[in-house]
Amino acid sequence: MYTPVRLARLYEQIVEQIEERIRNGELKPGDQLPSERELAEQFGVSRTAVREAIKALREKGLVEVHPGRGTFVTDNVHQVVRQTLGMLLRRERARRISDLMEVRELLEPSIAALAAERATEEHLEAMRRAVEIMDASFDDPERFVEADLDFHLALAEGTGNPLIPLLLDPIIDMLREHRVQVFLVGGAARGQFYHKQILEAVTQRDPEAARAAMIAHLQQIREDSAHIREETP
């Protein structure tokens, strides 16, 4: 069991305890962490503090969040790959939002098409859940964006190719703040329209419809981004 924490910056103390358990081998690669609710009870904190801690652990490459399945301790290979890709993407060639968007436009239409052929019911359920959370979060940008990220990651996992989420995850993670900005200029409702189209196409096992819906979604994001000053992510 974890030790309850009650001081300021609670999420950092949660991170320290979980990180220590990973270092000493109590938590091994592939182990699943308790649910957000269970962790909040064990630590004696709010679910918001737990959510921040999981985000920090994920950014360190120590855990992977699989929508609809849970949070798992990573293996060293995945951690190194993710951190290396993240470092590369932060170098000169990927500083602009438009650079990252261009990579998404190359990858994600094909990802959507492949997911339409291969996604399991588990992947579909994760996408449905993400869409439901977004539907309920039009007044909460951060919650909406987290569900948005989960939707696209579940879609990547639905390809059945373990390398694809590793490639896409650092890219969509770097666009987190940009997604909040798109939300604030009214892009949430437009994006949600396309999320539902993509989900429907994948559910119907229609690769070309999934590809077309993703292309339209990324074009919508470009149009909304025209209202935002481009910044370094």
Host H or E run for residue 66? strand 63-66
Per-residue pLDDT tens digits of the chain, which is 233 residues long: 666 655 447 788 899 999 889 888 899 888 999 998 899 999 988 888 898 899 888 878 788 887 677 899 987 545 555 555 555 555 544 456 778 888 899 999 999 999 999 999 999 999 999 999 999 999 988 889 888 988 998 999 999 998 898 788 778 777 777 788 888 888 889 999 999 999 999 999 999 999 999 999 999 998 888 877 544 34
Looking at the DSSP bridge assignments, the partners of residue 72 are: 32, 64
Q: Is the whole-model pTM more than 0.85? A: no
Contact by Cβ (8 Å): 30, 75: yes
C-alpha 184/C-alpha 34 separation (Å) is: 33
List the one residue out of 43, 53, 47, 75 whose CA is nearest residue 9: 53
- Can you read off the two tokens belonging to residue 80? 């190194």
